[in-house]
Chain A
Amino acid sequence: MGDEAVNKNNKKQRNILELVWDWFASVKVGISLIVILALGSALGTIYPQVNAIPHPNPNFYYKDTYGTLGDLYHKFGLSNMYTSWWFLTLVLLLGISLVIVSIDRGVPLYKSLKNQPVARKVIALRADRLYTNKETATAADLTALGQALQKRRYKIRTVDGALLAEKGRLPRFGAYVIHAGLIVIILGVFARLIPGWYYDEMVWLKEDESKTISEVGFTVKNTGFQLEYYEGGDRVKKYETDLEVYEGAQKVAEKHLIVNEPLTYNNTLVFQNSFDPTPMFKNGKVEMIDRKTEQSLGTFDINFIDPQETYTVGPYQLKLTNYFPDIKVDAEKGVYTSSNEPYNPGLSFEISGPNLAPTQQWMMPTAPFVEQMLGQEYPFTLKMVDVSLFNMTGLLVHRDLGIPVVYTGCAITLYGLVLVFYFQHRRIWARLEDGVLHIGANTNKNWLGFAKEFNKAVEPLGATAAVLKSKLAKQPENQPEPPHTTESETGREGTQA
């Protein structure tokens, strides 16, 4: 009784396994997965994904820009769907299907083609779409046929009284080569999940600024950024960075980065990806002029990135009491800075000196009108006589060790495509029986071209030219079917008129 139960269990297990296998091996399921994947991908294009929006806070961006629909889009996770579990599961299912389909059909095909008999029954040959024969034939004719076909690059296998000429068996597996290529690509993409295999972040560097990126193990430094526009100033012509790479204190690499030409170090690429179009203030030379006498009192230098606290001009002391790198003046909110970067510096000085009660004075190089408005009673004019601006460079640090895998997958896929669409599998069988040489043939596509080649080979032997039977012609009754393992053998893969 124990055995019975065990057997029942095995049977059940096999059935589930079989069900799963057959499900994945079904073409219908495969096509459905393809269609769902296509539709799903389209969903992600309705609104930009989170990695493409200009605003750092997605929770507000979608609602603000696209209204309720946009808000729902974001709340349902559609704004970041290509790494979502359901999308990746779809891709995974497709990958599994590709593997199972290829094994399910590819392995039997391989076995059957490997073990196919050389000698086929005459009845079967007669039923082939291309068939002809030669009366009063001899073994010499068989040999001659073999030689003629060999000249046309067919591989010949012979047994006593029969031969099989075959070429292009590999293209027959083209579909599975394509599938294999796609599997490799999917693996290459999923390889991004392996820790250390993938890193992709922007690094913004000001002039002479350096940042250490621990994930890739080195530091990048911007030692010079050049930006040029075409005449008219609205289209950028070039943006390039002089980049240095350090490990610790030691410089290990440097390159002049141009778009499309990254620096490679430690399996990581640093791209000149973008730049900040708004210039920042670097240094400036300020001239202090006495308002009443209109005399220049001298100049002092300011570093806008890290300004010092006190300055001396002639007999006067200037103390920087407040510094707003990106100053905004608002009726309700008051005076504040909207960022940490010196886009619009606003400086508040306390000036003291001989015969002068300490007086507060604003300097706003980018807002001269505001400065003027506030400074009607200022005893001095602070005039910027020289300034150097710079733009921040945007570098993309990118590591993806899966890239060679993906490229290999692409190459395999393309090779498979060529095999499927530009080559064909052709076979010609010949059987000498009772003094008659029967010749039948089969291909998986391009019957017309094959018929031409077939006739060119058989006619010199004295056989009548074969006429290509219509693909709708019924098989005669009681005839064994020509050897085939898949439907594709019956020539459904397209005919040429």
Chain B
Amino acid sequence: MAKTAGSTRVLTILVLLVAAVGIIFAVVKFNNKEVVVLNKGEAAPAFTLQTLDGNQASLADYKGKVVLLNFWATWCEPCRDEMPALQQAYDKYKEQGLVVVAANLDENNITIKGFINQYQLNFPILIDKGREVALDRYKVGPIPTTFIIDKNGVLQSIEQTPLTLMMIEDKIKPLL
């Protein structure tokens, strides 16, 4: 029985090998697409967002302080649950250079204001209209997500679980 020439075989196998490698590479890349996060040690991305009274605030405004940047929304139960802890941390450490900045994901002012009154919060609250900072710059997935940024603007940790006062203290004390 006539066999396929050796050269044809070699060529075919080479072509298939290249194709296979290319495809597997693309598959792995495709499956890992979602996992894009910021890394500890990077400079925290800059942002400028509006406050409730219509002014603007930037990350640069807080240089020199330890920033607890929290992304939240009123419809998110764990976010609501951790707010008292954030307020406590702010009260306790603001003299020592901590600032809690809570960026709200695109809710309307009245809802946010009502919430602030309900929970009696007095740290800066910003509005991320369109969620651009959260999604594009900080690669936030589920909320609450808190970024802890040191006095030099470097990202020190990313917390994706609701925080307690103790957890916050552990993270910020070394940075203050």
User: Which A positions have Cβ atoms within 8 angstroms of B?
Assistant: 14, 17-18, 20-21, 57, 83-85, 88-89, 92, 96, 99-100, 103-104, 107-108, 111-112, 190, 193-194, 306-307, 309, 320-326, 333, 335-340, 348, 485
Contact = CB atoms under 8 A, between A and B. Distances in A.
B33 to A, nearest CB: 10
Contact of A85 (B4, B6, B13, B24): B24
B20 A111 contact: no
7 contacts: A85-B28, A88-B23, A193-B26, A193-B30, A307-B108, A323-B114, A337-B75
A325 B110 CA distance: 11
Contact of B27 (A20, A85, A100, A338): A85
B109 interface: yes
Of A83, A112, A323, A339, chain B has the most CB atoms within 10 Å of the CB of A323
A461 B126 CA distance: 100
Contacts of A85: 24, 27-28, 31
A193 B25 CA distance: 10
A184 B77 CA distance: 49
A96 B16 contact: yes
Q: Main SS of the interface on chain B?
A: helix
B24 A485 contact: no
A219 to B, nearest CB: 13
Contacts of A104: 4
B24 A340 contact: no
Nearest to A84: B31
Contacts of B142: 57
Nearest to A105: B4
Contacts of A325: 75, 111
Contacts of B13: 17, 20-21
Contact of B6 (A14, A335, A339): A14
B110 A320 contact: yes
Contacts of A339: 75
Nearest to B114: A322
Contacts of A321: 110, 113-114, 117
Given A108-B2, A336-B74, A17 B10 contact: yes
Interface in B1-49: 1-4, 6, 8-10, 12-13, 16, 20, 23-24, 26-31
Given A17-B13, A322-B118, A112 B4 contact: no
Given A88-B27, A92-B23, A340-B107, A326 B115 contact: no
A306 B6 CA distance: 73
B139 interface: no
Nearest to A334: B118
Given A107-B8, A108-B4, A336-B80, A92 B20 contact: yes
B106 interface: yes
Contacts of B1: 108, 485
Nearest to A486: B1
A107 B27 CA distance: 32
Contact of B75 (A18, A88, A326): A326
B101 interface: no
Given A85-B27, A193-B27, A309-B109, A103 B4 contact: yes
B73 interface: yes
A83 B31 contact: yes
B12 A100 contact: yes
A172 to B, nearest CB: 16
Given A309-B110, A325-B75, 6 more contacts: A57-B142, A83-B31, A85-B24, A100-B16, A193-B27, A323-B114
B96 to A, nearest CB: 32
Contacts of B109: 309
Contacts of A322: 110-111, 113-115, 117-118
A326 B12 CA distance: 61
A320 B24 CA distance: 57
A111 B1 CA distance: 11
B108 A323 contact: yes
Given A99-B16, A337-B75, A323 B23 contact: no
A21 B31 contact: no
B77 to A, nearest CB: 7
A485 B110 CA distance: 82
A193 to B, nearest CB: 4
Contacts of B6: 14, 17
A320 B113 CA distance: 10
A101 B128 CA distance: 58
B23 A190 contact: yes
A408 B173 CA distance: 64
Nearest to B73: A340
Contacts of B27: 83, 85, 88, 193
Nearest to A484: B1
A17 B11 CA distance: 11
A112 B2 contact: yes
Contacts of B16: 96, 99-100
A284 B6 CA distance: 79
A323 B75 contact: no
A20 B20 CA distance: 14
Contacts of B114: 321-324, 348
Interface string B75-115: 10100100000000000000000000000001111110111
A306 B118 CA distance: 20
A70 B107 CA distance: 36
A184 to B, nearest CB: 13
Contacts of A84: 31
B9 A17 contact: yes
Contacts of A190: 23, 26
Contact of A107 (B4, B30, B80): B4
